Structure 1
Amino acid sequence: MGFGLFLGLLSICAPSVANAASASVPGLEVAYSLERATQGISISGNGRKFLSQRYSTTAAPQIVELLDDNSTVLYPNAEWNSYNSSNPKSNPRTTFVNVDGARLGPDGRYWVVDGGATGINGSAKLVGVNLTTNAVDKLYYLDDTKASDRGLDDVRFSASGEIGYLSDIAGALIVLNLTSGHNVRVLTNSTTAEALFPIMYNGTLVPGSDGLGSVSTAGLDQIEVSPDGTYLYYQPCNGGMHRIKTSYVDAVLTNDTMAATLGDYAEPFALTPSTGGTTIDADGNIYASDTNMLAIWKITPAGHCSILFHSEKLLWTDLMWITADKKLWLPASQMRPGGDGLMATGPNYIFTYPIDAGPSPIDHV
């Protein structure tokens, strides 16, 4: 279904901003102040905290565990975080080359999406870390499936935990059987997965890397699965969310006809903004960070949109998390995008904000 169908959603998806606050927001609290910009946070049931730290012009992306004394240690170990493109002995198959999405899955593993790098074989992969052994015990190489010139971005899982869904910002979805490793790239010709408009950031279009006047775009990026496992929600980075039944999505692994026509089954869901990251609660409400208005949106299972709050502190809030005490965790990565690189400067805060529900039962442990 085309982008034009979103126009009919304006009446239900134009956000209510009457209660949008300024930089001082009741309930918004600083949980951590960190030396390095943090893209995402995941918190296990027993309180272990894992951070993905991607945005820097001087340091390589890394995964760390945040300890009780507020220090960090490379996770799962220093070796996995040791990739160096200048070192011919550095192995992209057993190191993180370009960390992007990272989160705890319903199976209790910590899953890291390595977007990879063009021309580096073995760099694009999904890495599963066992939290009991703190060692990688699941590894899926995806260089042959992703687009050649763009990266993998994020991951979610089916209700059974047997299938992974990965976003490909070239404008596609990768469906992965976690038992066999078989995977299929779909929605490649669907406007629902394409970047039909540039990304907006803090009141302006994000500059591109192709010279003066160019702008930045990113296709299918944010994805969520409903708490009952029925729907997969997805959108390009510039917004415009669709949903599709997971039964149709899962069928592409065995049905070539469904794989070729999957986009025909997508439904327009919400006219969302340019978004850094999303998460979903146990009631099926989706939370999306608005990179343009520096706000957090709430989208109900019926597709109704509202703005929870606005704060100038929410500079490029990315991979959010929800805990059992009904708190929304908000890593404000401080990423200031532009054609000259991903500029991140402090202060680097992770915030919390109270909401009305805990985490989705199939989203993470």
Structure 2
Amino acid sequence: MRTTLFAGLIGLLAPAVNAYASGLKLVYSLDLATQGISISGGGRKFLSQRYSTTLPPQIVELLNDNTTVLYPNEAWNSYNSSDPTSNPRKTFVSIDGARIGPDGRYWVVDGGSTGVNGSTKLVGVNLTTNAVDKLYYLDSVKASDSGVDDVRFSASGKIAYLSDTAGALIVLDLVSSHAVRVLVNSDSALAWFPMMYNGTLVPGYGGADSTLSVGLDQIEVSPDGVYLYYQPCNGGLYRIETSYVDAALTNATMASVLEDYAEPLALTPSTGGTTIDGDGNIYISDTNLLAIWKVTPEGRATILVQDDALLWTDLMWVTADKKLWLPASQMRPGSNGLMAEGPNYIFTYPIDAGPSPIDHA
């Protein structure tokens, strides 16, 4: 099933380019809200698309002719909550994070739906066969209020780290399928303030006066695999040595005291998404100032680029030609929750480094 979602290339939109911040280049304009982009070593582009009041979330591949096709196939993107025959174990129910891992697979985090068994899972797609060949169901490790959201990997590629917006980290052994949930209710994993959006507090789902607070969400791993970085959505970036995190898989004592090994690194803003480059610099989208921050391995935080078009930039990507890819999802708070309005832009911005060797295929 192929759908034309592409609205224009930069060549067609040249008159508008001059309005953007210096260095910010518009490369795609899409009809559907695009939360994230992942680009394989061979140049294949995959988009996670969500934040619609009428359409289900979906994964698509952006083809060379600027059309998209459901990925890995239509069946995986066919979940229908009103159809009792729709199988949540073999379909995407609620797409959250998506990433190409060090093993070359395209990994999709399905946050699932409360009460729907088998819907919360980590799905690995083989880019050679274009078929799902790895599946990890997370019902046994998540909590009733969990929001499993994003994934990164150890240097060995044998361990996955998944963020849980309820305020926790899930550590998954990809060989044995054993998983533990750690940092539960740690101060470093909890939101200490509501999120900010374009100058205001983000409204919540609890009524007219409610606000949105989101726990541990963004995670990155340093290029040498030594540190795991993490933060709640409202900001406050921490790091912890992966050796301690990995030990929590088999050492219950370490799992219980893991937060004691967490170090604050930088005071970061309300954030839509992050990525890391090969020099260990972390890029953080600012949902309040509509900007991208750069945080060095030493914790120095500065604004890299700022533009009103960078509306809720989410899952970013770094390519070998030293470009930072920025999907500006156009997500905004409203009565229907965090929904996006089109057109939805993907920009690039030049940086000084290529991708992390353990973050991309």
> Structure 1 length normalisation: TM-score?
0.93
Of the three residues 298, 304, 325, the one matched with 1:302 is: 298
Q: What amino acid is aligned across from residue 294 of structure 2 in structure 1?
A: K
Identity %: 77
Q: Alignment partner of 1:249: what SS?
A: helix
Q: What amino acid is aligned across from residue 237 of structure 2 in structure 1?
A: M
Q: What amino acid is aligned across from residue 210 of structure 1 in structure 2?
A: G
Alpha-carbon separation, structure 1, partners of 2:203 and 2:164? 21
Unmatched runs of 5 consecutive residues or more in structure 2? 1-17
Q: CA offsets, 1:6-46, max 9 Å, x none?
A: xxxxxxxxxxxxxxxx9621111111111111000000111
1:217 Cα offset (Å) = 0.9
Of the three residues 184, 187, 197, the one matched with 1:188 is: 184
Q: Where does residue 11 of structure 1 map in the other structure?
A: none
Alpha-carbon separation, structure 2, partners of 1:337 and 1:311? 19
2:354 corresponds to 1:364: no
Q: Where does residue 36 of structure 2 map in the other structure?
A: 40
Q: Where does residue 236 of structure 1 map in the other structure?
A: 232
Alpha-carbon separation, structure 2, partners of 1:322 and 1:303? 20
Alpha-carbon separation, structure 2, partners of 1:219 and 1:282? 27
1:143 Cα offset (Å) = 1.5
Q: Alignment partner of 2:321: what SS?
A: coil
Q: What amino acid is aligned across from residue 109 of structure 1 in structure 2?
A: R
2:57 corresponds to 1:69: no
Unmatched runs of 5 consecutive residues or more in structure 1? 1-21
**Larger relative contact order (Cα-Cα within 8 Å, sequence gap ≥ 6):** 1
Does the 8 A contact of 1:50 with 1:64 survive in 2? yes
Q: What amino acid is aligned across from residue 130 of structure 1 in structure 2?
A: N
2:34 corresponds to 1:25: no
Alpha-carbon separation, structure 2, partners of 1:28 and 1:243? 29
Q: Alignment partner of 1:191: what SS?
A: coil
Q: Where does residue 16 of structure 1 map in the other structure?
A: none
2:162 corresponds to 1:174: no
Q: Where does residue 349 of structure 1 map in the other structure?
A: 345
Q: Where does residue 147 of structure 2 map in the other structure?
A: 151
Of the three residues 274, 280, 283, the one matched with 1:284 is: 280
Does the 8 A contact of 1:321 with 1:328 survive in 2? yes
Alpha-carbon separation, structure 1, partners of 2:66 and 2:353? 27
Does the 8 A contact of 2:204 with 2:337 survive in 1? no
Task: Indicate the RMSD between aligned Cα atoms, in angstroms.
Answer: 1.0
Q: Alignment partner of 1:262: what SS?
A: helix
Q: Where does residue 222 of structure 1 map in the other structure?
A: 218
Of the three residues 327, 332, 335, the one matched with 1:331 is: 327
Alpha-carbon separation, structure 1, partners of 2:296 and 2:145? 35
Q: CA offsets, 1:200-222, max 9 Å, x none?
A: 11101100111121001110000
2:64 corresponds to 1:93: no
Q: CA offsets, 1:44-95, max 9 Å, x none?
A: 1111000000111110000000000110000000000000000000000000
1:341 Cα offset (Å) = 1.9
2:262 corresponds to 1:266: yes
Q: CA offsets, 1:84-143, max 9 Å, x none?
A: 000000000000000000010000000000001000000000000000000000000002
Alpha-carbon separation, structure 2, partners of 1:337 and 1:99? 19
Does the 8 A contact of 1:57 with 1:342 survive in 2? no
My pick for the range that moved more, 251-260 or 332-341, is 332-341
Q: Where does residue 315 of structure 2 map in the other structure?
A: 319
Q: Alignment partner of 1:283: what SS?
A: coil
1:282 Cα offset (Å) = 0.5
Q: What amino acid is aligned across from residue 349 of structure 2 in structure 1?
A: Y
Does the 8 A contact of 1:276 with 1:290 survive in 2? yes
Does the 8 A contact of 1:23 with 1:313 survive in 2? no
Give the length in aligned residue pairs.
344
Q: Where does residue 46 of structure 2 map in the other structure?
A: 50
My pick for the range that moved more, 288-297 or 28-37, is 28-37
Alpha-carbon separation, structure 1, partners of 2:254 and 2:129? 39
Q: CA offsets, 1:187-208, max 9 Å, x none?
A: 0031100011111111011001
Does the 8 A contact of 1:208 with 1:339 survive in 2? no
Q: What amino acid is aligned across from residue 291 of structure 2 in structure 1?
A: A
Alpha-carbon separation, structure 2, partners of 1:332 and 1:136? 28
Q: CA offsets, 1:126-164, max 9 Å, x none?
A: 000000000000000002212212321000000000000
Q: What amino acid is aligned across from residue 87 of structure 1 in structure 2?
A: D
Q: Where does residue 202 of structure 1 map in the other structure?
A: 198
Alpha-carbon separation, structure 1, partners of 2:149 and 2:292? 20
Q: Alignment partner of 1:39: what SS?
A: strand
> Structure 2 length normalisation: TM-score?
0.94
Does the 8 A contact of 2:71 with 2:77 survive in 1? yes
Q: What amino acid is aligned across from residue 251 of structure 1 in structure 2?
A: A
My pick for the range that moved more, 188-197 or 125-134, is 188-197
